[in-house]
Structure 1
Amino acid sequence: MEFAYSFAGLLVGFVVGLTGIGGGALMTPILIVIFGIPPVVAVSTDLIYASVTKSGGVFAYARKQLIAWRVVILLLLGSIPGSLLTLNYLKGFADLSQIEHLMNLTLGFSLILTSIAVFGRNRIREFALQQESKPWVSSARKIRPYVTFVMGLVLGSLVTLSSVGAGALGTALLITLYPRMSMPTIVGTDLFHAVILTGVAGAGHYTMGSVDLALLGYLLIGSLPGVFVGSYLGAKLSPKVMQPIMGSVLFAIGLRFVLAG
């Protein structure tokens, strides 16, 4: 079984390296559906797994000054309280089955939203850029910091409940709010925010005793070489091919969890 966990980590790491998408969105469903890991343990362990695996990429973006720190702070002002409030809400449940039901439903909806974000990333950016010259957009910029804060609040709750949403969904929301920001800066900003958010949420779940450290270790053993190989091959593949495939897979998985919930 230990080898199977590491192989799952290798597979997910490879997909993440290949496409830049799918860490929590793939790992959590695999742990629940294939390995029969309880949703609470799967989500909790995957949060720390995501924080560790994504942290390596942050330094490269920071060195190249591709992180919008003001946007990161606005996001964290919403997402950290959102995560802590959600953790406190979960601690109020006496019945574990209620928590698992809530997590399954949230995971399903988060995966469906993420699949839409993957499918529509380019169209979202094109539409947002087209709206930039409209008069109402200039007025809307005044409230953009508040919208960013609310976006962080929602992401904090979603990620804490499902371990999904910090990546592709966060990127799509940033593209919508900040269409003039370069894509590398959007990715770097979202990545840094995701590392902090998943780390905080994972630490909160750890205090609840739901993180499986042995499982985490086996996943990391496989994922690190997987990310390396996937990143090497990903540079040779067109995102026009990979994005529809990933979007379809995530949508199918999400639908499965919604219907099962």
Structure 2
Amino acid sequence: MYFPTAGIEANPLLPVCVAFVVSFFASMGGISGAFLLLPFQMSVLGYTAPSVSATNQFYNIVAIPSGVARYIREGRMVWPLVWVVVAGTLPGVLVGAFLRVRWLPDARDFKLFVGLVLLYIGFRMVRDLLRPARNGKARADERFAELAARHRAQAEALGVAPESLPTTRVVRRTWRTVEYEFYGEPHTFPVQGTFILSLVVGMIGGTYGIGGGAIIAPFLISVFGLPVHTVAGAALMGTFVTSIAGVLFYMGIAPFYPALSVSPDWMLGLMLGLGGMCGMYLGARCQKHVPARLIKWMLAVVLATTATRYVAGYFF
């Protein structure tokens, strides 16, 4: 099948299957999988035009709602975190989209930029995994199975379904901090710090074509120490909102760059999105059965491998 905007020819089942596998595992960590589908499109399909970023964001729009719906249904969406992340990444992703078209149209330079960003994130995650828990106390996300079992026992004692009992609950909300409980365990994140971080990450994510969620999720986990089982839904929701803005922005600036392919390849993005939709729903459903440490190691290895390949490819 020929994709005219991308200027490539590929089996239509290939993007669907790849997106399904990638999104299934990536969604467990709050990542849509777009950061892995970008190198797939560039290196495997040969899609290197600036419009690959817009296509990636269109994939997010199609794929993410199924995963978000699952996290909401299970009561694991921390809404104050969602709105702070969206408020920061939304303006950032628009600036990043402009940077991609104006200063990073060359695929070789773009790969170096992407590699350095992912390499830093992977380093942070590995360092966090190798660092022992403070005072020998296990973190809440590492005791997820125990907390979930206690939650199910409580629901059984009350004679209700586990989904009817909230797993997250906002305890205190101010302009400086937000405190919430996850299965009764307290967690806090700074509002201003999260906003500034989201703004910077949004600029990077907008340039990369992923909406920022693929970068903000590891930061929330490794820097602020929030449980991955509560970060995932908020990160995906933030990515969904900013991806809409990103696609609209790329479409808006396309007429000003007639010599470049800027608007998304709708058919390719749709096929990637359909595979991602199924994979993301199953990933969100299975996440609670997977240890948080395993999810983090999986993200760290994938990030480091992809980054090393891109940086090495630039110089060699």
State the TM-score, normalized to the length of structure 1. Answer: 0.75
SS of corresponding position for 1:61: helix
Please say if 1:67 is aligned against 2:38: no
Matched pairs, number: 248
Equivalent pair of 1:113/1:169 in contact (CA under 8 Å)? no
Equivalent pair of 2:93/2:206 in contact (CA under 8 Å)? yes
Please say if 1:254 is aligned against 2:300: no
The equivalent residue for 1:146 is 192
CA change 1:226–1:184 in 2 (3 A) is closer
More helix by share: 1
Please say if 1:204 is aligned against 2:249: yes
Shift of 1:81: 1.7
The equivalent residue for 1:46 is 56
Determine the C-alpha separation between the residues in 1 that align with 2:54 and 2:27.
22
The equivalent residue for 1:224 is 277
Please say if 1:11 is aligned against 2:57: no
The equivalent residue for 1:173 is 219
Determine the C-alpha separation between the residues in 2 that align with 1:212 and 1:153.
27
More strand by share: 2
Larger Rg: 2
CA change 1:237–1:215 in 2 (3 A) is same
1:88-99 equivalences in 2 (<5 Å):
88-93=98-103, 96-97=105-106
SS of corresponding position for 2:251: helix
Determine the C-alpha separation between the residues in 2 that align with 1:90 and 1:128.
44
Shift of 1:29: 0.7
Please say if 1:76 is aligned against 2:83: no
Structure 1 letter corresponding to 2:236:
L
Equivalent pair of 1:110/1:162 in contact (CA under 8 Å)? no
* Deviation by residue 1:58-106 (Cα, 9 ceiling, x = unmatched): 234345554333333333332222122223344545x843xx3443222
SS of corresponding position for 2:65: helix
Structure 1 letter corresponding to 2:190:
R
1:96-245 equivalences in 2 (<5 Å):
96-97=105-106, 100-120=107-127, 122=129, 126=133, 144-164=190-210, 166-167=212-213, 169-175=215-221, 178-179=224-225, 182-207=227-252, 208=254, 209-228=262-281, 240-241=293-294, 243-245=296-298
Determine the C-alpha separation between the residues in 1 that align with 2:117 and 2:66.
25
Determine the C-alpha separation between the residues in 1 that align with 2:136 and 2:79.
22
Determine the C-alpha separation between the residues in 2 that align with 1:238 and 1:149.
28
Determine the C-alpha separation between the residues in 1 that align with 2:203 and 2:97.
9
- How large is the RMSD of aligned CA atoms in angstroms? 3.7
CA change 1:166–1:79 in 2 (3 A) is closer
Determine the C-alpha separation between the residues in 1 that align with 2:18 and 2:223.
35
5+ residue gaps, structure 1, are 131-139
5+ residue gaps, structure 2, are 1-9, 138-175, 179-188, 255-261
Q: How many percent identity over aligned positions?
A: 19
SS of corresponding position for 1:248: helix
CA change 1:230–1:200 in 2 (3 A) is same
Shift of 1:215: 0.6
Equivalent pair of 1:118/1:168 in contact (CA under 8 Å)? no
Shift of 1:28: 0.6
* Deviation by residue 1:127-151 (Cα, 9 ceiling, x = unmatched): 5998xxxxxxxxx969933322210
Determine the C-alpha separation between the residues in 2 that align with 1:54 and 1:117.
25
SS of corresponding position for 2:190: helix
Shift of 1:45: 0.8
* Deviation by residue 1:231-261 (Cα, 9 ceiling, x = unmatched): 6766665555564354223212212212333
State the TM-score, normalized to the length of structure 2. Answer: 0.64
Structure 2 letter corresponding to 1:29:
P
